[in-house]
Structure 1
Amino acid sequence: MDGHVLAAQSVATARSTLLTAGTALTHALSGRLASAGWVIASFPPELPDTLLRQAAAGVLSGVGQPFYSIDGGRGLWLDSLAALDRDPHSFGGVGAQAVHIDAPNVTEPPDYTSLLMLCPDPAGGGKSVIADLRAAADQLDEHDRELLTRPVFAEGRAERLHGIGEPLPTFPILDERPSKHTWIRWAGKLLTDDRNTAYLPVLTRFASLLEATARQVLLRRGDLLIADQRRVAHGRTALGRQDQLVPAARRLLCQAKVRFDANAPIHELLRWAA
């Protein structure tokens, strides 16, 4: 690592490999990200954790500049071992997590987020949920769209973060920036934040539209989920019963972020295809 970003030499080495030995993988990833906004790359589950982390970091280098936004992980990756004493709906909790984008309340949310599964829930729960932000927004009527462009919404806190700009006390849900794609700054926790009470009806309507687009996938050991945050939100279903599992056997998931880089192999392929 170079600070909170993956070192430039590591990124260059990974991209060189993807452009030579990894061309089939790169084409598959670029096609799926372009069409759906998310993709799962599956690595051999028999690889040890260290090699899975390294291989996944290499693939992320093909998408952009990998980095971490929160301290406390192993190099690039923030680990999340399921724990009963955490907020059930948080990263590392055991309850359902409403669909959201990571860091909706900062000036520069991560362009991509990724989840690497090292140990699925032995109790069979914890499916990942993917929902189509743009499809939901397209269903809004003009009145609701106007309400959601107002910079009046609040969600959580943004503290001690890296590489994602400055905190936003309030923000629009539909953040339509000139010459850039619209950010849809969504998090399910907007519905339970008392600061948004006056706008709860429109938030509830958008949440319903978003839920109608959702699909579930069960990540297995070695699966890397990459999500384009300008297009899709992610969450999870509740884990199964954990009280009979020793902590070391519980679900272990890792997270890393990626900043857009037009020179990354996947985006070069998309330019050529265009």
Structure 2
Amino acid sequence: MPEIASADWDGFIDLPRELEEDLIEIGRTLPAWSVEGAFLADSTIERYRVKLDSAPLFDEVRGPLLDMLSGAAGGYAVVRLRNIAQALGIGDQFLHLATAILAEVAIPFQPFQRWPLWKEIGTNLDANPGLSTGTGYNAFHMDLVNATQPPDYTTLLCVRPDPLGAGASILSDARAAVSRLSPSSRALLADMAYSYGSFFNLSDVGEEYRPFPVLDGEPADLGFVRFTAKMLIESGLDEAHAHAAKELADQMVAGQVSFTLQRGDMLIVNQHRWVHGREPLGGGQHNIAPEDRRLLLQLFLRDTGATGPIAS
């Protein structure tokens, strides 16, 4: 069995060396993917699955990974592919393998029409510090909060960590945070009172949802805790609804976990259960060459078992 840490490191999967060696060889032979619309093609998924099934120990990873992501106490996982990244580099071979592993969780797709399947999240010193490409604190949020059907999972693959050792990923169990609120706050969060962001050039995420409720009353495998801390500033909320959202934000911070992704680490977050963000990057980013600054790749997943792809 793969070594799956517990206690403070629950959520991390370290692969056995034998499996790493098999996956390195598989990564060298996997074909390029094809897409159908925004989604990874069924033919690609089947070809990738056959290759993964040829690794005897992969089944022992698949089950625990799915349990971590969708079990009653789960919601995120970090698959440590560091040694594989060292052997293959983080180029096409590695991305084919990472995509194959993710296709065992749900269907990879890219809702942003202007970007490829894997979207770069680099470090831009001119960006708003609170954005994903900025250098400051990126507060808790779910991705595409203002879509009627957000991605079920968001994935972040570390190409380069912050050379200054900062920029830890932060996560929080959104449903646990909600459970600690008063009934009156939960009632306010169920109102169609919140809004955030723009909506354009998107595929297969439904329609724009504006305004939206933070709590939609759906079961955890179907509904979302529609939260982004940025809506506290941009929604034009009245005092009561703003206070309820601020209470939820505080509970998320109180229950957060954090860790710093290293090269080859792949974080998968179940958006029905958890929210994510980032601590500030290290000071002095202007002294780091652009090609050496923190770089992640992002890919989204659609769980057809829960909702199914929406036609464009």
RMSD over equivalenced CA pairs, Å = 1.8
Distance, in Å, in 2 between the alignment partners of 1:194 and 1:179 is: 25
Residues 68-121 of structure 1: CA deviation (Å, up to 9, x unaligned): 122444x41001121101121112111110011101111101111100111111
In the alignment, is the contact (CA less than 8 A) between 2:220 and 2:273 conserved in 1? no
Give runs of aligned pairs for residues 1-274 of structure 1, distance below 5 A. Answer: 1-21=35-55, 22-33=58-69, 34=71, 35-43=73-81, 44-46=84-86, 47-50=88-91, 51-73=93-115, 75-177=116-218, 181-198=222-239, 199-241=241-283, 242-262=285-305
What SS does the aligned partner of 2:218 have?
coil
Query: What is the one-letter code of the residue matched to 1:9?
Result: S
Query: What is the one-letter code of the residue matched to 1:209?
Result: Q
* Higher RCO by CA contacts (8 Å cutoff, separation 6 or greater): 1
In the alignment, is the contact (CA less than 8 A) between 1:18 and 1:62 conserved in 2? no
Deviation at 1:262, TM superposition (A): 3.1
Deviation at 1:179, TM superposition (A): 10
Deviation at 1:12, TM superposition (A): 1.4
What SS does the aligned partner of 1:216 have?
strand
What SS does the aligned partner of 1:49 have?
coil
Residues 208-254 of structure 1: CA deviation (Å, up to 9, x unaligned): 11111101011111111000000000000011120100111111101
Query: What is the one-letter code of the residue matched to 2:40?
Result: L
In the alignment, is the contact (CA less than 8 A) between 1:18 and 1:26 conserved in 2? no
Query: What is the one-letter code of the residue matched to 1:42?
Result: R
- In the superposition, relative to structure 1, how do residues 20 and 175 fare at CA in structure 2: closer, same or farther (>3 Å)? farther
Residues 34-68 of structure 1: CA deviation (Å, up to 9, x unaligned): 24210011112312222222121111100111001
In the alignment, is the contact (CA less than 8 A) between 1:130 and 1:215 conserved in 2? yes
Query: What is the one-letter code of the residue matched to 1:195?
Result: G
The percentage of counterpart residues that share the same residue type is: 32
What SS does the aligned partner of 1:238 have?
coil
- In the superposition, relative to structure 1, how do residues 127 and 71 fare at CA in structure 2: closer, same or farther (>3 Å)? farther
**Gaps (5+ residues) in structure 1?**
264-274
What SS does the aligned partner of 2:237 have?
helix
